[in-house]
């Protein structure tokens, strides 16, 4: 997912670095994706929403899921699509789950077509009674797979309903819960042997212009201290922040981060910002470390990162002294946006 944005920034630069970034991003995605899926439906997963454009996320997410399969993707995503008010980690999971199901239904290959358009639901609209009147973005994901028999169609969103030998039956259940929590709606149409189309609606963001600007990738400068117990994330963040123009040092826990921040503060090269993981198993996490950093430097600019979108700190990050949140798995655009919030 990151590689698309990175390639855009790097056009003409080192190909080896590009591959490394892609590998780093994939392991972040795999490790955090599963954890997040489990947490989202087990803990109620209140979305941490931000307004953003859907097109880049849809493309990157679908391409990522289709990679190595026989299915081919097609996109019809208009440029003037309204930005949406979403939790990027959760909606990314929705798209991944739907694309994965489509791939599994098309083991012999076929096309996965993703179209999106702006839709206004009026009072008394016949299309759905499930949606409040207002502006929505409609996304349709259409496959040419085996289809779903009519007698099964009412069960597919049920938890643990699966027809696959190794299935969990939780994919569509979490899709449904996430869309519902976003004030959206999802529906399905299918014909055996012809294919299936899932269509979902997400509320459009109120402030269209602000959202369009915030989805861009911006370069910056300054020194950033990263704290995460996961080496892969540290390496990935270092590479990506480097791409954006920042100088980076990494630490593995809160104690180390406080020590390095303090040392640097006394030197002529203090840190301009910190990005800290919310929780660190067996060590001090960002939630606690931020208090100590504030004592050292009341003007500290901090981003909290986490795969646990359900943690109340992620929804109320400002009360804890953080200036921005970064949900794992994240994309280059998310990182750019967070950095722009703290240093822009
Ligand atoms: N695109 C699709 N084409 C055909 N069948 C599907 C599709 N998506 C979902 N299904 C059916 O719905 C069931 C539930 O899907 P899901 O909740 O993702 O669980 P799982 O993938 O673990 O089986 C699948 O087992 C399959 O029978
Ligand atoms: Mg599934």
Domain with residue 338: its CATH number is: 3.40.50.2300
In this prediction, residue 233 carries a pLDDT of 84
Domain containing residue 304: 216-343
Spatial distance between the Cα atoms of 308 and 291, rounded to a whole number of angstroms: 20
In this prediction, residue 208 carries a pLDDT of 52
CB 48 within 8 A of CB 91: no
Residues 39, 40, 45: CA angle, nearest 5 degrees: 110
119 and 239 fall within a common domain: no
72 and 202 fall within a common domain: yes
For ligand 1, pick from 34, 97, 101 the residue to mutate: most ligand atoms within 8 Å of CB: 101
168 lines ligand 1 (CB under 6 A): yes
In this prediction, residue 265 carries a pLDDT of 96
Which two structure tokens, joined as six digits, stand for 202? 């997400």
Ligand nearest the Cα of residue 172 is 1
307 and 171 fall within a common domain: no
CB 276 within 8 A of CB 68: no
Return the closest-CA partner of residue 324 out of 337, 311, 309: 337
In this prediction, residue 42 carries a pLDDT of 41
CB 7 within 8 A of CB 15: no
Residues, the chain: 344
84 lines ligand 1 (CB under 6 A): no
264 and 175 fall within a common domain: no
Spatial distance between the Cα atoms of 237 and 317, rounded to a whole number of angstroms: 20
Q: What is the largest CA-CA distance in the chain?
A: 70
In this prediction, residue 27 carries a pLDDT of 58
Instruction: Give pLDDT tens digits along the chain (344 positions).
Output: 333 344 435 444 556 665 666 666 665 555 555 555 544 444 346 777 888 889 988 998 898 888 889 999 999 999 899 999 898 888 988 999 999 999 999 999 999 999 999 999 888 776 667 888 899 999 999 999 999 999 999 999 998 899 998 888 989 999 999 999 899 999 999 999 999 999 999 999 886 544 444 456 788 999 999 999 988 888 888 888 988 899 999 999 999 999 999 999 999 999 999 999 999 999 999 999 999 999 999 999 999 998 876 778 887 888 889 999 888 877 777 888 899 889 97
In this prediction, residue 141 carries a pLDDT of 98
Domain finish residue from 175, 210, 245:
210
CB 224 within 8 A of CB 19: no
246 and 153 fall within a common domain: no
Domain finish residue from 210, 225, 248:
210
280 and 319 fall within a common domain: yes
79 and 149 fall within a common domain: yes
Taking residue 131's Cβ as centre, other Cβ atoms within 10 Å add up to 16
In this prediction, residue 218 carries a pLDDT of 83
Ligand nearest the Cα of residue 157 is 1
288 part of a folded domain:
yes
95 and 204 fall within a common domain: yes
111 and 255 fall within a common domain: no
82 and 203 fall within a common domain: yes
96 part of a folded domain:
yes
In this prediction, residue 41 carries a pLDDT of 45
98 and 204 fall within a common domain: yes
Distance 41 CA to ligand 2 centre (A): 14
The DSSP 8-state label assigned to residue 319 in this structure reads G
Domain finish residue from 159, 187, 210:
210
In this prediction, residue 144 carries a pLDDT of 98
Distance 248 CA to ligand 2 centre (A): 38
47 part of a folded domain:
no
Residue with the two structure tokens 């800290």: 276
Beta-bridge partners for 86: 50
If one counts the domains in the chain, the total is 2
160 part of a folded domain:
yes
175 and 148 fall within a common domain: yes
Ligand nearest the Cα of residue 175 is 1
């Amino acid at each position: 997912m990151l590689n698309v944005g990175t390639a855009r920034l790097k056009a003409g630069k080192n190909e080896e670095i590009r591959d490394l970034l892609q590998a780093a991003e994939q392991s972040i995605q795999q490790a955090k994706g599963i954890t997040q899926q489990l947490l989202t439906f087990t803990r109620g997963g209140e979305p941490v929403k931000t307004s953003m454009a859907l097109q880049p996320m849809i493309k990157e997410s679908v391409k990522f899921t289709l990679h190595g399969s026989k299915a081919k993707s097609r996109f019809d995503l208009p440029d003037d699509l309204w930005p949406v008010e979403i939790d990027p980690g959760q909606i990314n999971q929705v798209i991944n789950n739907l694309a994965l199901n489509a791939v599994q239904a098309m083991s012999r290959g076929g096309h996965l077509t993703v179209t999106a358009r702006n839709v206004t639901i009026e009072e008394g609209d016949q299309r759905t009674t499930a949606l409040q009147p207002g502006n929505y973005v409609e996304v349709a994901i259409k496959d040419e797979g085996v289809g779903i028999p009519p007698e099964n169609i009412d069960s597919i969103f049920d938890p643990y309903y699966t027809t696959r030998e190794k299935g969990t039956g939780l994919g569509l259940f979490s899709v449904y819960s996430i869309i519902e929590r976003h004030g959206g709606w999802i529906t399905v149409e299918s014909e055996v042997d012809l294919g299936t189309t899932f269509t979902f609606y997400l509320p459009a963001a109120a402030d269209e212009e602000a959202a369009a600007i915030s989805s861009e990738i911006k370069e910056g400068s300054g020194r950033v201290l990263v704290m995460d117990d996961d080496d892969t994330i540290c390496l990935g963040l270092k590479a990506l922040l480097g791409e954006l123009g920042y100088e980076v040092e990494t630490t593995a826990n809160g104690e180390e981060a406080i020590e390095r921040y303090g040392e640097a503060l006394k030197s002529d090269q203090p840190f301009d910002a910190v990005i800290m993981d919310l929780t660190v198993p067996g060590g001090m996490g960002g939630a606690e470390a931020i208090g100590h950093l504030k004592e050292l430097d009341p003007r500290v600019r901090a981003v909290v990162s986490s795969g646990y979108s359900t943690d109340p700190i992620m929804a109320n990050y400002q009360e804890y002294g953080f200036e921005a949140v970064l949900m794992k798995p994240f994309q280059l655009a998310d990182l750019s946006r967070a950095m722009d919030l703290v240093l822009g």
